Structure 1
Amino acid sequence: METTHRIFTTPFSKVYPMYVQKAERKGRTQAEVDQLIAWLTGYDQNGLHRQLERQVDFATFFAESPAFNADSKLIKGVVCGVRVEEVADPLMQKIRYLDKLIDELAKGKAMEKIIRR
C-alpha cells in the first residue's frame, strides 16, 4: 500500500515564500520566480495570486494549472539527490521540475536557459 507523500498535501502558499527567499538570497527576484511558475504551469499573475490566497495544496495547484508546459520534459538534472527526468510519480515530477527551475535561478543561470528557449 502506497502512502501519499506529505508534499502533495502541503499548501503551495507555505512553500512559495521559500522559493522566493532562495532566489532573493542569490540576487534574483520574486518576479523571476513568478515568471518560472508561469512558464511551467500557465498561471498568470492573478491566477497564481488566487491559488496562494486559497492556500491550495501542491496536488490542487498542479491539477488546476491552466497549461502545464510540454517543454517541461526538457528539464533534466538532479534535485534533492534525484534525477528529475526519472521521477516515476507524475505529480512528484512536476514538483521536482519546479524545484529544479528555482535551483537554476538561484545558481545564477540565465532566464532564457532556465526556460529552455
Structure 2
Amino acid sequence: MAKSHDERIAVLTFASVYPHYVTKVEKKGRTVEELHQVIMWLTGFTERTLQKHIKGGTTFEEFFAAAKLNPNAHLITGAICGYCVEEIENPLTQKVRYLDKLVDELAKGTMEKILRSA
C-alpha cells in the first residue's frame, strides 16, 4: 500500500466514516446496536466511549490509539477494499480494515461468526 494511502487513513475521522457503517448494516436489516457490539468487540470501548468518538473529531489514528484491540482480532482474515487484511503491513491501516471487514461481515452474516473466539 502506498504511504499516502496510510496517511489518509490516519487523519480520516471516525465520525466521517461511521454514518457509512450505519447505512451499510441497516440496508441489510441489521441494527445500530449490532454495529456497536461489533465495534466494541474489536476496540474494547464501552458504549459511552464509543459515543465520544462518534460525536468527537477523533481521527482513526486517535481512535485506535485509545482502543484495546481484541486479542482475537488477528483471526479477521479475507479481502476488503481489494486488500487481504492479514497482509496489510501498516498497523493502523490494518486495524481500520479489520473494522471495515467486521462491518462488511455484519451486513452479510451472523454475530457468532463475527465475534471470533479462538
Tell me the equivalent position of 1:42.
Answer: 44
Give the C-alpha shift of residue 5 in structure 1.
Answer: 2.4
Matched, 1:53 2:55: yes
Distance 1:50 1:102 in 2: 20
Amino acid corresponding to residue 104 of structure 2 in structure 1: D
Residue of structure 1 equivalent to 2:92: 91
Within 5 Å, which residues of 2 pair with 1:73-112?
73-107=74-108, 109-112=109-112
Q: Deviations over 1:45-104 (max 9, x none)?
A: 000001122210100000011x21110000010001110000000000000000000111
Which residue identity is paired with 2:106? L
**Structure 1: distance between partners of 2:61 and 2:14:** 9
Q: Does 1:5 align with 2:7?
A: yes
Q: Which residue of 1 aligns with 2:114?
A: 114
Q: Deviations over 1:30-55 (max 9, x none)?
A: 11110000000001100000112221
Structure 2: runs of 5 or more not aligned = none
How many angstroms apart in 2 are the aligned matches of 1:31 and 1:94?
21
Query: What is the TM-score when the length of structure 2 is the normalising length?
Result: 0.92
**In 2: Cα distance, 1:86 partner to 1:31 partner:** 30
Unmatched tracts of structure 1, length 5 or more: none
Q: Stretches of 4+ moved more than 4 A in 1?
A: none
Task: Give the number of equivalent residue pairs.
Answer: 114
Q: Which amino acid aligns with 1:80?
A: C
Moved more, 5-14 or 27-36: 5-14
